[in-house]
Amino acid sequence: MTGIAIFGAGRIGQIHAENLCNNKNAEVRHVVDVVGQAARDLAARCNARASSIEEAIADEAVEAVVIATSTDTHAELIEVSAKASKAIFCEKPLDLDVAVASNSIEIAAQHGVLLCIGFNRRHDPTFNRLKQDIDAGLVGNVEVVSITSRDPSPPPPEYIGRSGGLFRDMMIHDLDMARWLLGEDPVQIFASGSALVSEDIAAEGDIDTAVVTMKTASGRLCNITNSRRCVYGYDQRIEVFGSAGMLRAGNQTETQVEHANGDGFRTDPVLPFFLERYADAYRLQLDRFLRAVAGDDNEMPDGIDGLKALKMADAAQKSCDQETAITLSL
C-alpha cells in the first residue's frame, strides 16, 4: 500500500483521486489545492485530509505524489517532492519552458526519485497493444506512423491564452505517441496550421487545425493531424505501416448497436471525449505508477519523454510560425 498526496483537486485531480481510491495498492492521505473547499470535498471522498503542501510533504507515510495542478506550479512541486524523496507522477506538460522542464528532471535525478509524466494515452489498452504488437514484429520495420487526433470542440476561450497553443497543449500527446511508436527520435519537423474552427482561437493568434510531418534519422516518416472540432466524437486513431504489415488502432463507441434502414447502416458516434475514451488509460496509468514506485516493472514515460515531447511541440510551433521545416536534435 503506497501512501499518496494529490496536488490539485480540479477535474484531472479528481480523476486520479477516484482511481487511487479504488486501487488496492494506494492510500490517498492528502489532497492539496489552493481552493480550500475543493481540497476538502475531494479529501472527504477519499477518506484523506485536506492539507497544505508542507503538511503533505512532511508526512513520512507519503511515498509518492500526484501533481495535477496548473502547469506553472509543476516545477516547484517537483522540487519540493524530490527533495523529500517522494516518487513523482506529474501531469503533462512538465512546463511550457524547456529550460524549466530540464531543470525539474535534473532535480529529480539528483535526489534519485522517480519522475513519471502523465502521457495517459500510452496506457490506453488499444494503443498499448499497438505498441506491443510493433515490438513483437507484427509490422516488420516501421516505415510510417499516421496519427489522427481530433477534439470534439474548442476549449473555453479563457483557457486558450494560457494553453501554450495547440502544439504544446493538444498535439504534445500525439508527439509523444509518435516518438514512442516510431521507436526513434525525429530529426526534422514541419507543421502547417490554420484557424478554421474558432474565432476566439484566431483572435489569440493560435490555430485549431494542424498537420505535422516528421522524419527520423533512419528515414521513418510520421504525420499527425489535429483539429479542435470533431462533430462525431473524440477521434483518436493511429496507423502504423511497416515492411511486413500494418497495425491500426480504431475508436470506441458506447454500444455495439447498428441500425439499418433505407439510408444504410448506422453505428454510434465515437466516445465523446477523453474522460470516456481514456477512462481505462487513466486507471492503468496510476496502477503502473504504483508498480513502478513499488519497484516492479516500470512502464511509465519519464521526465525525458516529457521534455522531448515539449521540444517537439516547440519546434512544431516554430515551423508553423516560420513556414519552414525545423531540424530537431532531441
Q: How far is the CB of 85 from a copy of itself (least distance, A)?
A: 33
By CB under 8 A, name the one of 252, 273, 294, 318 that touches a copy of itself: 252
Among 205, 248, 296, 298, binds a copy of itself (CB under 8 A): 248
Answer yes or no whether residue 323 interacts with a copy of itself by CB under 8 A: yes
Tell which one of 246, 275, 296, 321 touches a copy of itself (CB under 8 A): 246
Q: Among 4, 53, 75, 230, which residue interacts with a copy of itself (rule: CB under 8 A)?
A: 230
DSSP character string of 65-126: EEE-S-GGGHHHHHHHHHHTT-EEEEPSPS-SSHHHHHHHHHHHHHTT--EEE--GGGGSHH
List the interface residues with a copy of itself, window 142-171 (CB under 8 A): 143-144, 146, 148, 150
- Residue partners of 153: CB distance under 8 A and separation at least 6: 228, 229, 230
Binding segment toward a copy of itself, per CB under 8 A, in 69-77, 113-121, 168-176, 193-201 = 193-201
* Shortest distance, position 277 Cβ to a copy of itself, whole Å: 10
Task: Please report, to the nearest 10 degrees, the dihedral formed by the alpha carbons of residues 280, 284, 285, 291 taken in order.
Answer: 170
Q: Grid coordinates 504525420 are at which residue?
A: 223
Binding a copy of itself by CB under 8 A: which of 1, 196, 203, 275? 196
> Are 49 and 33 in contact, with CB atoms under 8 Å apart?
no
Nearer to a copy of itself by Cβ, of 111 and 237: the residue is 237
Closest by CA to 54, choosing from 27, 26, 28, 30, is 30
The count of other CB atoms within 10 Å of the CB of residue 100 is: 17
Q: What is the DSSP string of 39-55?
A: HHHHHHHTT-EE--HHH
- Which of 192, 273, 318, 330 is in the footprint of a copy of itself by CB under 8 A? 192
Cβ closer to a copy of itself: 177 or 197?
197
Rule CB under 8 A: choose which of 7, 89, 180, 190 binds a copy of itself: 190
Selection from 15, 212, 239 nearest residue 126 by Cα:
239
Q: What distance lies between CA 192 and its chain's CA centroid?
A: 22
The answer to whether 54 and 60 are in contact (CB under 8 A) is no
Choice from 1, 266, 276, 296 touching a copy of itself (CB under 8 A): 266
* 130 counts as binding a copy of itself under rule CB under 8 A: yes
* Residue among 163, 204, 251, 291 that touches a copy of itself (CB under 8 A): 251
In the three-class reduction of DSSP (H, G, I as helix; E, B as strand; rest coil), residue 144 is classed as strand
| 249 lines the binding site for a copy of itself (CB under 8 A) | yes
Q: Does 247 bind a copy of itself (CB under 8 A)?
A: yes
Q: DSSP state, 171?
A: I
- Stretch near a copy of itself under the rule CB under 8 A, chosen from 2-10, 115-123, 170-178, 243-251: 243-251
Asked if 71 is part of the footprint of a copy of itself (rule: CB under 8 A), the reply reads no
Q: How far is the CB of 182 from a copy of itself (least distance, A)?
A: 12
Q: CB-wise, 19 or 104, nearer to a copy of itself?
A: 19
